[in-house]
Structure 1
Amino acid sequence: MKAHWFPILLFIIIAIVVTSEIISGYQKRKEEDKEFAAYLAAEPVDTVWRGWNKYQIPVWSDSGKLIWYGHELIANTSYYLGPKGTVAQITNGLNCQNCHLDGGTIPFGNNFGKVYATYPQFRSRNNGMQSIYDRVNDCFERSLNGKKMDSKTKEMQAIYSYMKWLGDDVPKGVARGGTSIMKLKYLDRAADPDKGFQVYTANCQSCHGANGEGQLNTEGTGYNYPPLWGEHSYNDGAGLYRLSSFAGFVKNNMPFGTDYHNSKLTDEEAWDVAAFVNSQPRPHKDQSADWKNIAKKPLDFPFGPYIDTFTEQQHKYGPFKAINNFNKSTK
């Protein structure tokens, strides 16, 4: 009898031990999961917008093919619309994504995450309501130093479709985090072009050239690295001609490989290199029709008139704190 029950008893004991270990392991895992959840809850939440990957475009449909063409126009603008453009010759050889990085999808990379959600909108610079088409043409005329394109063209419809597709999950009127250029703190001094030259030499000229000329691709149809000044760069009506925009852009995206998690330049270096680049010669854009309400001009807009008595030089390079304080006092 004892011999008969021994294997059964042994099996029961083993089962109890194994079950106990399983329960103990489960409880331990539950505690670890709880601790990990608490750790995540205590961490800062990264709420920036990130655009769809271009390979998610539904190219099997007619609408998807138009979206894909829109992405192509953003990524390879010069091939289609540059000086040797296959469709039209209306821009300076830059690509839209030279400023709107990776097809306009990078956080703090001048992306398109809020475009469809916030347009049409009133823009003081243009003295009225602007559509997405108007805003794109602004870039053609200023950043690409080119000409307007009719909104009825296939190309403009494709760009519109791409921007709409990118922002399809953003509620109307909402601007997600990272969909604007980051605003850096103002310096206590003016931004210094001479110091900026040192920053440029150490960090920028290997790609953009000693004379800011950029690097053309082998076909001569566009730039692998865009020119930062000279006849083929953005004109003085472009958004990046404002120091705060240029400084915020390079701080989070340059040199190549930088992102907002891991910036290489200090704030001072970003302001100074912005001052250096924007002190160099570039095409001029007639802006006499802009800013009819001069009280709405950004404090670093480099052309007068202004509502204050600070000089154009200070409005371009700073120091900006005094101007900012004056603006606050008049509101």
Structure 2
Amino acid sequence: MRFGIPLLFGCVVAGSVMAVSCKRGEHVWTAPDTVNIPHNTSGELIRYGRELIVHTAMYLGPEGKVATISNGMNCQNCHLEAGTKFMGNNFAATAANYPRYRERSGSIESLDKRINDCLIRSLNGSPLDRNSHEMQAMIAYIEWVGMTVNNGAKPPGSGIRELPYLLRAADTSKGRLVFDNKCRECHGTDGTGKYDSLTKEYVYPPLWGPHSYNNGAGIFRLSKFAGYVKANMPLNNARLTDEEAWDVAAFVNSQPRTEKLFEKDWPDLNTKPPDVATAPFADTFSAVQHKYGPFGVIVKSRKKH
């Protein structure tokens, strides 16, 4: 079992200081070791849940063994290292914060609803039956990953890194240069990723096109994508500046992808984040500015009302 490191002034991970907010006495979250998954019925469910996260396409993709309800990506393509990587969009705080009220739906959501949202949006597919063996397995695994996190807590290193807004709009032209220099090798010139025809899954995911996430995915929000890229890309050698992260996120999200209507999203427009680019809006800023920024002026204008 791996334990967190006591903190005073920063989160120290693998000898480097990550720019995340830590309070005195807080610990860096680390995932439990898989060798400690119990060898019983509960453990088998957890292991199957992990398998589904790592190899989603094998079970639920276009040629899935169990169902054909997703686009061929794996959950692990976004939730790095099976949802256990520090600042890698991990599952540390997921189970601890569900059920919860979500402003996007304007309702109390369960963990199975959250998982199905990922299947519908990020994997551009269809939902699982909430009582299915696969859904129960993924819930069991996510609960196991975050089993040391108290209800309602969000330890340092969980979720996606937050970047300060740029003072300008994110620039897709500059982002194209970043993509060509630092992303193309893995994700391909045309953004279609690297596909393994033997395992029928993506080694590196497509960033646009029909097999990528659709316009309803959380990562389609520029702040989410930029924060994710800043903390994790290039993979295992994250070194982009803040501006590069914002610009490459803008370039990727400017490319064609499946567009779906999510008309029930954000029923209270006043809670809609400034970087959600689909109308209607509670302000007079354009859809283009809601997509690429600058976002600070949108936030500032809301504070006046």
Give the TM-score of the pair, scaled to structure 2.
0.91
Q: Distance in 2 between the 1:327 and 1:54 partners?
A: 46
2:261 aligns with one of 286, 296, 305? 286
The answer to whether the aligner puts 1:237 opposite 2:206 as a matched pair is: no
Greater Cα shift, 173-182 or 45-54 = 45-54
Q: Contact (CA 8 Å) 1:48, 1:179: kept in 2 or not? A: no
CA, structure 1 residues 45+143, in 2 after alignment: closer, same or farther (shift >3 Å)? closer
Greater Cα shift, 77-86 or 175-184 = 175-184
Shift of residue 92, structure 1, vs aligned partner: 0.2
Partner of 1:175: 154
Partner of 1:118: 97
Shift of residue 321, structure 1, vs aligned partner: 1.3
Alignment of 1:51-70 (within 5 A): 51-58=31-38, 60-70=39-49
Q: Distance in 1 between the 2:255 and 2:290 partners?
A: 17
1:266 aligns with one of 236, 241, 251? 241
What is the RMSD of the two structures over their aligned residues, measured on CA atoms?
1.4
Q: Contact (CA 8 Å) 1:126, 1:291: kept in 2 or not? A: yes
Q: Distance in 1 between the 2:53 and 2:8 partners?
A: 39
CA, structure 1 residues 282+42, in 2 after alignment: closer, same or farther (shift >3 Å)? closer
The answer to whether the aligner puts 1:323 opposite 2:291 as a matched pair is: no
Shift of residue 43, structure 1, vs aligned partner: 5.8
**Secondary structure in structure 2 of the residue aligned to 1:224:** strand
Q: Which has the larger radius of gyration?
A: 1
Q: Distance in 1 between the 2:51 and 2:198 partners?
A: 17
Identify, as 1 or 2, the structure richer in helix.
1
Q: Residue 255 of structure 2 aligns to which amino acid in structure 1?
A: Q
1:80 aligns with one of 59, 64, 67? 59
The answer to whether the aligner puts 1:308 opposite 2:288 as a matched pair is: no
Q: Distance in 2 between the 1:171 and 1:177 partners?
A: 13
Deviations 1:151-203 (CA, angstroms, capped at 9, x unpaired): 11110000010011111111111111121211111111100001000000000
Partner of 2:23: none
CA, structure 1 residues 72+321, in 2 after alignment: closer, same or farther (shift >3 Å)? same
CA, structure 1 residues 68+288, in 2 after alignment: closer, same or farther (shift >3 Å)? same
Q: Residue 200 of structure 2 aligns to which amino acid in structure 1?
A: T
Greater Cα shift, 93-102 or 175-184 = 175-184
Alignment of 1:116-195 (within 5 A): 116-195=95-174
Deviations 1:22-44 (CA, angstroms, capped at 9, x unpaired): xxxxxxxxxxxxxxxxxx98764
Q: Distance in 2 between the 1:95 and 1:296 partners?
A: 30
Q: Residue 48 of structure 1 aligns to which amino acid in structure 2?
A: V
Matched residues, number: 286
Q: Contact (CA 8 Å) 1:119, 1:130: kept in 2 or not? A: yes
Partner of 1:50: 30
Partner of 2:189: 210
Shift of residue 293, structure 1, vs aligned partner: 0.4
Q: Contact (CA 8 Å) 2:175, 2:244: kept in 1 or not? A: yes
**Secondary structure in structure 2 of the residue aligned to 1:125:** coil
**Secondary structure in structure 1 of the residue aligned to 2:104:** helix
Shift of residue 305, structure 1, vs aligned partner: 1.2
Deviations 1:14-64 (CA, angstroms, capped at 9, x unpaired): xxxxxxxxxxxxxxxxxxxxxxxxxx9876454332212333322x21100
Q: Distance in 2 between the 1:42 and 1:213 partners?
A: 43
Could you list the structure 1 runs, at least 4 aligned residues long, displaced by more than 6 angstroms after superposition: none
The answer to whether the aligner puts 1:253 opposite 2:232 as a matched pair is: yes
Q: Contact (CA 8 Å) 2:222, 2:275: kept in 1 or not? A: yes
Shift of residue 326, structure 1, vs aligned partner: 1.1
The alignment-based identity, stated in percent, is: 50
Structure 1 unaligned spans of 5+: 1-39
Partner of 1:11: none
CA, structure 1 residues 44+140, in 2 after alignment: closer, same or farther (shift >3 Å)? closer
Shift of residue 328, structure 1, vs aligned partner: 2.2
1:109 aligns with one of 69, 73, 88? 88
Partner of 1:201: 180
Q: Residue 182 of structure 1 aligns to which amino acid in structure 2?
A: R
